[in-house]
């Protein structure tokens, strides 16, 4: 069970406090990857806050890559703080590349060129495998 404490006298918004406490719990190993979180209504009741406050905090953590929302499975811990930090930097890089006119496939090629092991694409092939298939005579 995740222990979450909030301080109503603190100027930090309640949803940010809830998100910070859950982030701390994940960092300290109180909740690991794949572990389900308590129901939103239960968290809200324990904390004495509105369900929407808890939902807002959980959405922040989902956007950071820490939580995964699955219908029928509830909300589970998806990753670690390290993964969340990397995901944040990737988002920054994608926004930067878009700002400078690069398409996603061009950014992927740049990343693959930096790696000694080719990354897999969404379809399960590497760009080299795709290029090889495309260049083969029919």
Are 133 and 126 a contacting pair, CB within 8 Å?
no
pLDDT tens-digit series, residues 1-27: 566 778 888 899 999 999 988 888 887
Centre a 10 Å sphere on the Cβ of residue 1 and count the other Cβ atoms it contains: 9
Tokens of 112: 């693959």
pLDDT tens-digit series, residues 80-106: 777 667 777 888 888 899 999 998 888
pLDDT tens-digit series, residues 106-119: 888 888 888 765 55
pLDDT tens-digit series, residues 47-86: 889 999 999 999 999 988 889 998 888 899 987 777 667 7
- List b or e across 68-80, with b for residues whose CB sees 16 or more CB atoms inside 10 angstroms: beeeeeebbbbbb
Domains located in the chain, CATH noted? 14-81 (1.10.10.10), 103-135 (no CATH)
């Amino acid at each position: 069970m995740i222990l979450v404490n909030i301080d109503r006298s603190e100027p930090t918004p309640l949803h940010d406090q809830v998100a910070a406490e859950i982030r701390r719990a994940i960092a300290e190993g109180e909740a690991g990857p794949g572990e389900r979180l308590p129901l939103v209504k239960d968290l809200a009741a324990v904390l004495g806050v509105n369900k929407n406050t808890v939902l807002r905090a959980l959405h922040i953590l989902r956007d950071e890559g820490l939580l995964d929302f699955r219908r029928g499975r509830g909300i589970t811990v998806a990753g670690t703080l390290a993964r969340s930090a990397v995901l944040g930097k990737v988002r920054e890089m994608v926004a930067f590349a878009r700002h400078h006119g690069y398409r996603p496939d061009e950014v992927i090629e740049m990343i693959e060129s930096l790696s000694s092991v080719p990354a897999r694409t969404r379809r399960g092939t590497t760009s080299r495998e795709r290029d090889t298939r495309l260049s083969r005579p029919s």
